[in-house]
Structure 1
């Protein structure tokens, strides 16, 4: 059962990372369309806003995957210096990360709800209902909170988290 949950969570983190990569490709497409718009004189209103929405989406959707891949900044030197007390440093860091990401996720979802309630639209030329770009950002924030909680629970249960060693840690060993 636990291995099925682990595989499912890893698959969700990987899917979010693939969607983030797709957003980066779409940013390239928007930039190319902006260039074509300038060359042809055909207007492309809101293109800068769309690129910004895609950048926020790509960032937030990639957070959980990056955490499990060891790509987020961790104070490995400090954790290594803790020696046999490393578990407690990891526990403290994951507990703080879980609380902070949970707080972020709560308010990201709340912001989407308020944007829908007030029919808020972007102030750019596109006049996009702002909840549309906020939804993937909130989803990424929720996924990050789940990932932190996942790592915290795994650490408590097995005394080891799911975070793979970063390239820097691999080189040091």
Structure 2
């Protein structure tokens, strides 16, 4: 099960990276098209769609690598069992919020598909297509929070800390 979950998180991160490269291509195409005086319709919208998909798909991988912002001032001051209780409570609340986020993201994509909602730009993209990246990203984010909560309750959670704080001056 661990290999499957880690594979899902890594695949979502790889897809996010691919969308980020697509974003770079869109920006470069926009720059080149302005310099050469031709217009590519919808390029700004597609850049936005790729940026949103990239951000949402990277959420779970970022969480599992300990790169989300976490205030540990209170946690470090508490004794062991209180630290675990606070961790479980925080992860439980975060899981609930992630579940709401995932539910409403999926509902939005579903409603856009049902109502045939399209973008107002000249590209007329069906909005459910770019919203799939957000919906998929939030569902994987929810799975990652459930994973973290279960690991914390079982006492198997390894808390990874970002090395970014060590590089701060």
TM superposition shift of 1:161: 2.3
Aligned: 1:122 with 2:93:
no
Within the candidate set 51, 55, 73, 1:59 is matched to: 55
Kindly indicate whether the alpha-carbon contact (under 8 Å) linking 1:122 and 1:128 is maintained by their aligned counterparts in 2: yes
Asked if structure 2 preserves the Cα contact closer than 8 Å seen for 1:112 and 1:138, the reply is yes
Q: Give the CA deviation at 1:160.
A: 3.8
CA drift of 1:30 comes to 0.4
Q: 1:77, CA displacement in angstroms?
A: 1.9
* Aligned pairs, number: 167
| Structural RMSD (CA) | 1.7
Cα displacement (A) at 1:136? 1.2
Partner of 1:136: 133
1:82 positional shift: 1.7
Structure with the larger helix share: 1
Match for residue 68 of structure 1?
Answer: 64
CA deviation digits over 1:90-149, x for unaligned, max 9?
A: 101100110000000001111111001100001122110000000111000000001001
Instruction: Provide the rounded CA distance (Å) in 2 between the counterparts of 1:91 and 1:81.
Output: 16
Matched, 1:90 2:87: yes
Q: Which residue of 2 aligns with 1:78?
A: 74
SS at match of 1:75: coil
Structure 1 unaligned regions, length at least 5: none
Cα deviation, residue 35, structure 1: 1.0
- Tell me the TM-score normalised to structure 1 length: 0.91
SS of structure 2 residue aligned to 1:119: coil
Tell me the CA shift for residue 11 of structure 1.
1.0
2:37 to 30, 41, 44: 41
Q: Within 2, Cα distance between the matches of 1:156 and 1:21?
A: 32
Q: Does residue 11 of the first structure (1) align with residue 3 of the second (2)?
A: no
Deviation at 1:83, TM superposition (A): 2.6
Normalising by the residue count of structure 2, what TM-score does the alignment of the two structures yield?
Answer: 0.93
CA distance in 1, matches of 2:11, 2:29: 27
Equivalent residue, structure 1, for 2:150: 153
